[in-house]
Amino acid sequence: MAVRKDTIWERFLSPIVRSLIDEEKLRQLYESIDWEGESDRLCNPQVIYPHYYSSQNFHGIEGGYLNRSASVTYDPITQYVLPPNETWVRQGLIDRIKGTPRRILDLGCGTGSTTLMLKQAFPQAQVMGLDLSPYMLVMAQHKAQVGGLTMQWRHGNAEETGFPDASFDLVTASLLFHETPPTVAKSILRECFRLLMPGGEVLILDGNQKTLRQVDWLTEVFEEPYIKDYATQSVEAWLGAAGFEAVETHDHWWVHQVTQGMKPIPANNRAATQRQGFTSNTPQDFGSQGTPAPAF
């Protein structure tokens, strides 16, 4: 797989960003990690990499995310490519969460930047990040350890996570769907629906589809094999098709969007929920419902 040299990133931006990154520090970080040991521990040998994932380069990196260097360079580069400010962009997802979730799953969590912020926002919650790349998970785990945060990391495919139905009351995905073919995004959203308890919420932070359709060059910045397909479609429509209700999209600055939806509460449960004083914003305790907990 040859790396494309004609992207705006390769031609103009990469040299600028490289000059801003402390490569020696990155090399030291890379060498400080026991890659064999850590990735062996996190790796689930039963995971089968989908063709769209293992057959493409992403961001000009051969092998995409199945490459250790990609996981070490991801954060230093991402801070410069999420305008106007990476933390503010990610906070946009967290600010839209209704209520106080207790079990949170972050799909396609990568190096865990949003996952860590979710844990900081909801310290009492069990927070898990799931990703197809064991190397991204090694970095996520490293960041959680440095930050003193107790979280779980799972190597797996977001299309088929293997967790029991209704295991979570919040499922999130940040910057995932512009990197998957739309058929995969739709299948991930069906999995989100299955994983959520009634009244649970899904939140998707990603590129602003309206802007990407209007400003063509934005889809040419990086080597992103599926971003043009992403731009022509609608995350909002995908959520509706997966069965979510109260679906809404909020523009977040002009290049990002946050789309959210709720898994409907069946009418008979709604009455019981009201009797017990629960609302969809304060999900019931999993234990009292007898819902099997995911194997954290």
Ligand X SMILES: C[S@@+](CC[C@H](N)C(=O)[O-])C[C@H]1O[C@@H](n2cnc3c(N)ncnc32)[C@H](O)[C@@H]1O
Length of the chain: 296
One of 61, 125, 132, 139 touching ligand X (CB under 6 A):
132
According to the binding rule CB under 6 A, does residue 65 interact with ligand X? Answer: yes
Strand order in the sheet with 103-107: 152-155, 126-131, 103-107, 168-174, 196-207, 256-262, 245-252
Shortest spacing between CB 159 and ligand X, in angstroms? 5
- The reply on whether position 141 binds ligand X by CB under 6 A is no
Q: Residue 69 is encoded by which pair of tokens? A: 């260097």
Of 153 and 244, which CB lies nearer to ligand X in the complex structure? Answer: 153
**Residue of minimal CB distance from ligand X?**
110
Residue 140 contacts ligand X per CB under 6 A: no
SS3 content of the chain, % helix, strand, coil (to 5): 45, 20, 35
**Residue 236 interacts with ligand X (CB under 6 A): yes or no:** no
Sort strands 245-252 and 196-207 into parallel, antiparallel or unpaired.
Answer: unpaired
Q: Indicate which single residue of 33, 126, 128, 159 sits in contact with ligand X (rule: CB under 6 A).
A: 159
* Binds ligand X by CB under 6 A, chosen from 127, 138, 151, 158: 158
Element (H, E) at 232: helix 227-232
DSSP strand pairing (256-262 vs 245-252): antiparallel
Residue span 172-191 as binding mask against ligand X, x where in contact by CB under 6 A, dash where not: --xxx--xx-----------
Binding mask 7-46 for ligand X (x = CB under 6 A): ----------------------------------------
Task: Provide the H-helix boundaries in 82-219.
Answer: 86-95, 113-121, 134-146, 182-195, 209-214
Residue ranges binding ligand X (CB under 6 A): 53, 65, 78, 107-110, 113-114, 130-133, 136, 157-159, 174-176, 179-180
